[in-house]
Structure 1
Amino acid sequence: MTRTGQRGLTALAAVALCAGGAPAPRACSADTLAVVGVRDGVTRLERPGHAFTLTWRHSVSLTPVEADYIVTPDGQIVQTEERFVAHGPGMAHSGHRQTQADGTMVLPLHRPVPRLILRTAPDYDNRLIVGEEVIDLTLWPATPLEILSPDCKKD
């Protein structure tokens, strides 16, 4: 699978996604991503950026899945695309816009995610991609992790 959704995304695109009836932007900087432990509040890592990709192996179909996200200027996380080779339980679907490219299903989305919390496991090869850096999220197995913009934490 190839990463197609994140590379062309700019701050202007992020602004466009939250236009049109969206609440007024909060006073925060959405230019940093953090991975934070949900239970202990400890920041596991921080990286500059407002666009990222999560990759993993689906727990049922055992096939690769990639999902692209952006952080809007007001700190909201929005899923913009999902790519997979086999649809499995718990995955996004809205078939009317789904396309296929090189054996991969591509589903464009505009899905706001109030809190992006995940639990990783070595068997599922969870990765976070920010820019060109690939971060192994299985360094913290079975630990609920939240991905957020630390300056834009919701009260």
Structure 2
Amino acid sequence: MTRTGWRGLTALAAVILCAGGSQAPRACSNGMLAVVGVRDGQTRIDLPAQAFTLKWRHSVSLTPVEADYIITPDGGIVQTEERFVAHGPGMAYDGKGWVQRDGAMVLPLDRPVPRLILRTAPEHENRLIVGDQMIDLTRWPATPLEILSPDCKED
């Protein structure tokens, strides 16, 4: 191999080592959920969770809405269902895939959410439900919050 070829190979090896070698990325199974301020990066809530629900009052119809999410093994968030009482006047009630359950419209989903950012307001009654805990997110009104699974930490 020529001198130039060896230099290129050495440079490539250095890049591979700096990038983490040939290992596949580790799956994240820390089972944690965090609520972080988007502007300041400060963690407001940090607790164990594999699934959670967001509950709020719709800004137009003023009816309750609930959305269920799971945290995937790689730390992603997937919305699995949304439930609501009514869209409001003039909206269809026969959407594709919708079902009625316990007096509510239910939309089953499998929707990955790359970033789950919300802005809370007391009039919207934003709540985070994890297990049997209900957390009032309106204590940070008009503050953009991101719900995420924190990065995996090495064991």
State how far apart, in whole Å, the 1-side matches of 2:94 and 2:121 are. Answer: 28
- Which residue of the partner structure matches residue 103 of structure 1? 103
**TM-score relative to the length of structure 2:** 0.76
Answer whether contact 1:38 1:144 (CA < 8 A) is retained: yes
- Cα RMSD over matched residues? 1.9
Instruction: State the distance in 1 between where 2:35 and 2:42 align.
Output: 9
Give the Cα–Cα distance (whole angstroms) in 2 for the partners of residues 86 and 64 of structure 1.
9
Gaps of at least 5 residues in structure 2 are 1-23
2:136 equivalent in structure 1: 136
* TM-score normalised by length of structure 1: 0.76
Shift of 1:28: 2.4
Identical columns (%): 78
Counterpart CA distance in 2 for 1:25 and 1:62 is 44
Partners in 2 of 1:79 and 1:33 — Cα distance? 14
Return 5+ residue gaps in structure 1 as ranges: 1-23
Shift of 1:73: 0.3
The structure with the larger Rg is: 2
- What is the count of residue pairs matched by the alignment? 125
Partner of 2:45: 45
> Could you list the runs of 4 or more consecutive aligned residues of structure 1 that deviate by over 4 angstroms after TM superposition?
none
C-alpha displacement at 1:26, in angstroms? Answer: 4.1
